[in-house]
Amino acid sequence: MTKISQNGLEAGLLEVQTERLRLRAPNEGDAADLTRLLDDWNVAKWLARVPHPYQLADAYAFIEYSRAKESSEYDRNFIVVLGSELIGGVGLTGETAGVLELGYWIAREHWGCGYATEAAAGLIGYAETTPGCARLEANYQKDNLASARVLRKLGFRVCGEKSIFSLARNRDVSSTCVFLDLKH
């Protein structure tokens, strides 16, 4: 079951607890782990905004960017933690609360254990408690069959196709667009 807590006076300390995972705000102490896990072509090539190679400076820039967004109720990045280990990232982005885009990645050694589905389900629970958030969208590269499966398991439906620029590939890639209308 998903539990959502605002565990401090400071904005940005929102946490989401799922059965096995904790989703929390990124901090400087995550930079080395993020660099090690994201500097993997088999992860980066499927993501839009992750450069390859991925360097420590990229991780610090991501952490700083995430912190700047922490006062937003809806536009947030989370680190995925299993026990005490950083195993991935999930996030919601959007200009307004109405429609938010879901993104996620899991470190390669943890693929196939249901963690992406569980973390994304936790964020869907969080989005459902966010006033005015009516719909989530996501985009996956056409041959990203694992991500297509994750989104299908979560109830997303295909609504179209578009070309999205991939930083790692340094070119546009053909992507499938999916959406999920939220229950409030």
Is residue 111 involved in binding ligand COA (CB under 6 A)?
yes
Which backbone phi and psi does 78 adopt, to 5 degrees?
-125, 145
Q: Which is nearer to ligand COA, 12 or 89 (CB)?
A: 89
Measured between alpha carbons, how far is 66 from 75 in angstroms, rounded to an integer? 9
Is residue 179 involved in binding ligand COA (CB under 6 A)?
no
Is residue 146 involved in binding ligand COA (CB under 6 A)?
yes
Q: Which whole-number Å values give the CA distances from 30 to 59, 81, 84, 121, in the listed order? A: 8, 11, 12, 23
Answer for which of 147, 156, 173, 180 binds ligand COA (CB under 6 A) is 147
CB of 166 to ligand COA, least distance (A): 10
Task: Give the single-character DSSP code of 183.
Answer: P
CB of 52 to ligand COA, least distance (A): 12
Answer for which of 23, 47, 59, 121 binds ligand COA (CB under 6 A) is 47
Q: Which is nearer to ligand COA, 31 or 106 (CB)?
A: 106
Answer for which of 21, 31, 34, 43 binds ligand COA (CB under 6 A) is 43
Measured between alpha carbons, how far is 49 from 55 in angstroms, rounded to an integer? 13
Q: Which two tokens stand for residue 87?
A: 């195993």
CB of 6 to ligand COA, least distance (A): 27
Question: In 106-127, which positions are buried (b, 16+ CB within 10 angstroms) versus exposed (e)?
Answer: bbeebeeebbbbbbbbbbbbbb
Q: Which residues bind ligand COA (CB under 6 A)?
A: 43, 46-47, 104-106, 111-117, 140, 144-147, 149-150
